[in-house]
A and B are shown apart, each in its own frame.
Chain A
Amino acid sequence: MKLKAKSITKGVAEGEALVSHSPISFTGGMDPDTGKIREPGHDLEGQSIAGKILVFPTGKGSTTGSWQYYAAFKRGNAPKGIINANAEGVVAVAAIITSTPMVHKLEKDPLTCIETGDFVRIDADHGMVEIEKVGR
């Protein structure tokens, strides 16, 4: 499936999707040493965002999240690409300072079209997302 999207940054990334249905806070909510989500009760609690195409509704929490994300990136624990339903400033800034391809406002809701484990390709240069269902 190919979907049009609005680009926040530029670049191309592909990999395995990790999908959350809850907003993510990088400050307090994610451990930069492991890339693991550590917010109690979060639907990704205990799972690492490192190397994934991270799909989630939007960001939340402290604006210092972009510093925490930058540290995670430098320690090799950031996602390869980001898809948000609707982006907000903290995640967008985290993506731009780490040159992480990021899109939002897809023509269909990414949280219903994409499941964890799908193979996803983000082309932020052309505002496109390609989704391949794996093993079905």
Chain B
Amino acid sequence: MKLNEQQLSMLEGEQGPGAQKAMNILLAYGDCYDAERMIPITSAHIAGNFPVLLDEGIEWLEDLGRNGTKVAVYTTKNPEMYDFEQAETLHVPTIYQVRQKRIHEALKALGVTLTYSCHHYLVGNVPRFGDHIAWASSGSQVYANSVIGARSNRDGDHVALAAAITGVIPEWGMHIRENRKADMLIDVGQLPLEKYDPADYKALGWYLGKLVGTRIPAVVNLPNDMHIEAVKGLLYTLTVTGATGLVHLAGITPEATSLESAFGGSPPDSPDIVPSQGDVDKAYLEISSSPEERIDLVIFGCPQCSIQEVQEIAGLLKGKRLHPDTQLWICTSRWVKTLCERMGLLDILDTAGARIVCDIGAADGPHLYLREKGIRVIAINSARGSYYAHNLFGMDTWFGSTQDCVRSAISGRWEGRK
């Protein structure tokens, strides 16, 4: 790989051990993909938490920031394990609090903006069309590529951090225009999309992801007024059962104003996949994993709930009470909680017995200590959240729409499809 003077100086260690370590990581990474040069990035996003980093990873982060190493571009952070304002109320074990505080301090020393959000593109980390970025977190990566038209590979934390520190990333994969062309066609015209809820799009994404794998699909016949929550639902789920980095949603994706522009030429004569409603119905049953209908916890926020989602949940809960044996958590960013407070939504949720938990996502961190407290069966409106809660943390899950989940929180039993 050809490095410029500035990059060579980092490699030689002239800009400190942190920048040298970072440049070495990027070189090894770029070598895998025969990258020829480094290109500047405009933002980075990192993801890791204690269950992934473990004690050794925390030490690595602390070590990285020890010599005054700082990020050179705007860098945000995915959710953490717990809401520090509610650590006592929620009985978060000290071991996790201590670990998370060390990560917090290490990232602060590196100059990372501590958003603790996976909807960072709603709270300030907003790339522009064509920007090169390094985002670790497969869901937001596919969102940036497909909805914003920014360019990111599926970079892990070490690569995203190295890119943040040096301000550059090896040019390969999604950063190169030629590699962003669609290579398969999906026609969703057979589905009753006019009746679709975001949960239906998630079930559709679950089915499609398995067929798409790592390819770049173009999807036609989506409604022009497709709601952003439906777009997020489809995209985020596609990266659970598949590993695609870019989906051309015809009429929505900036690079897919037409099918010709998505394919960079003529689209195929006939679609590769034409999903039926039967495929989507089947996916619903695959996503849920619980043998029991009792619900211990209804949890929203994978990715973290937007203000629009909280408004919907609060609307459904107004004047109601949760079942005494069932909890309801809304996981979101602190910005959204502030909005909820300002708009009186917190009062509605409090009265119903529901809780807003900030700085965490519904798929990972909290399940570790929730399980330790005997929470076993959860209901969730995210296929992605259901998958990770079950496969990483052993939760039994029910998947359905927001309405299904709220009704289940009130009755204490699963009220959706089974």
* Chain A residues with a Cβ under 8 A of chain B: 6-9, 27-28, 32, 62-68, 70-71, 73-75, 86-90, 92-93, 95-97, 102, 104
Q: How far is the CB of A129 from chain B (nearest CB, A)?
A: 16
- Per-residue contact bits, chain B 298-327, to A (CB 8 Å; 1 contact, 0 not): 000000000000000000000000000000
- Per-residue contact bits, chain B 8-47, to A (CB 8 Å; 1 contact, 0 not): 0000000000000100110111011100000000000001
Are B156 and A64 in contact, CB atoms less than 8 angstroms apart? yes
Residue in B closest to A74 when the chains form the complex, CB atoms: B56
The secondary-structure label for the interface of chain B is helix
In-complex Cβ contact of B57 among A6, A70, A75 (8 A): A70
The answer to whether the Cβ of B1 comes within 8 Å of any Cβ in the partner chain is no
* Chain B residues with a Cβ under 8 A of chain A: 21, 24-25, 27-29, 31-33, 47-48, 52-57, 59-60, 136, 138, 153-159, 392
User: Can you list 30 A-B pairs with a CB-CB distance of less than 8 A?
Assistant: A7-B31, A8-B32, A28-B392, A62-B156, A63-B154, A63-B155, A63-B159, A64-B52, A64-B156, A65-B156, A67-B48, A67-B57, A68-B52, A70-B56, A70-B57, A71-B54, A74-B56, A74-B59, A87-B32, A89-B29, A89-B159, A92-B29, A92-B31, A93-B156, A93-B158, A96-B24, A96-B25, A96-B29, A97-B21, A97-B25
Are B52 and A89 in contact, CB atoms less than 8 angstroms apart? no
Beyond A32-B54, A64-B52, A70-B56, whether A88 also contacts B32 by CB under 8 A is yes
Are A96 and B28 in contact, CB atoms less than 8 angstroms apart? yes
Within 8 Å CB of A65, what residues of B?
156
Are A89 and B54 in contact, CB atoms less than 8 angstroms apart? no
In-complex Cβ contact of B52 among A27, A87, A92 (8 A): A27
Within 8 Å CB of A32, what residues of B?
54
Beyond A75-B56, A93-B158, A96-B24, whether A64 also contacts B48 by CB under 8 A is yes
Are A90 and B54 in contact, CB atoms less than 8 angstroms apart? no
Q: How far is the CB of B11 from chain A (nearest CB, A)?
A: 13
Are B57 and A9 in contact, CB atoms less than 8 angstroms apart? no
Q: A89-B159, A90-B156, A96-B28 are in contact. List 7 more A-B contacts (CB 8 A).
A: A63-B138, A64-B48, A66-B157, A92-B32, A93-B156, A93-B159, A96-B27
From B33, B48, B158, residue with most partner A Cβ within 10 Å: B158
Q: How far is the CB of B364 from chain A (nearest CB, A)?
A: 11
Are A70 and B32 in contact, CB atoms less than 8 angstroms apart? no
Are B28 and A95 in contact, CB atoms less than 8 angstroms apart? yes
Are B31 and A63 in contact, CB atoms less than 8 angstroms apart? no
Within 8 Å CB of B154, what residues of A?
63
Are B53 and A67 in contact, CB atoms less than 8 angstroms apart? yes
Docked CA distance A74–B55 (Å):
10
Residue in A closest to B59 when the chains form the complex, CB atoms: A74
Are A67 and B157 in contact, CB atoms less than 8 angstroms apart? yes
Within 8 Å CB of A66, what residues of B?
156-158
Docked CA distance A74–B21 (Å):
18
Within 8 Å CB of A104, what residues of B?
32
Docked CA distance A27–B49 (Å):
13
Docked CA distance A32–B155 (Å):
22
Within 8 Å CB of B60, what residues of A?
70, 97
From A27, A65, A67, residue with most partner B Cβ within 10 Å: A67
Q: How far is the CB of B287 from chain A (nearest CB, A)?
A: 19
Are B28 and A67 in contact, CB atoms less than 8 angstroms apart? no
Are B28 and A63 in contact, CB atoms less than 8 angstroms apart? no
- Shortest 7 CB-CB contacts between residues of A and residues of B: A63-B156, A96-B28, A74-B56, A71-B54, A71-B56, A87-B32, A64-B52
Residue in A closest to B154 when the chains form the complex, CB atoms: A63
Within 8 Å CB of B136, what residues of A?
63
Docked CA distance A67–B136 (Å):
13
Residue in B closest to A66 when the chains form the complex, CB atoms: B158
From B21, B52, B53, residue with most partner A Cβ within 10 Å: B52
Are B31 and A67 in contact, CB atoms less than 8 angstroms apart? no
Q: How far is the CB of A78 from chain B (nearest CB, A)?
A: 11
Q: How far is the CB of A83 from chain B (nearest CB, A)?
A: 14
Q: How far is the CB of B256 from chain A (nearest CB, A)?
A: 26
Docked CA distance A92–B32 (Å):
7
Are A97 and B158 in contact, CB atoms less than 8 angstroms apart? yes
Q: How far is the CB of A131 from chain B (nearest CB, A)?
A: 23
Docked CA distance A32–B47 (Å):
20
Docked CA distance A112–B27 (Å):
28
Docked CA distance A130–B55 (Å):
36
Residue in B closest to A102 when the chains form the complex, CB atoms: B28
Q: How far is the CB of A130 from chain B (nearest CB, A)?
A: 21
Beyond A63-B136, A63-B155, A66-B157, whether A93 also contacts B29 by CB under 8 A is yes
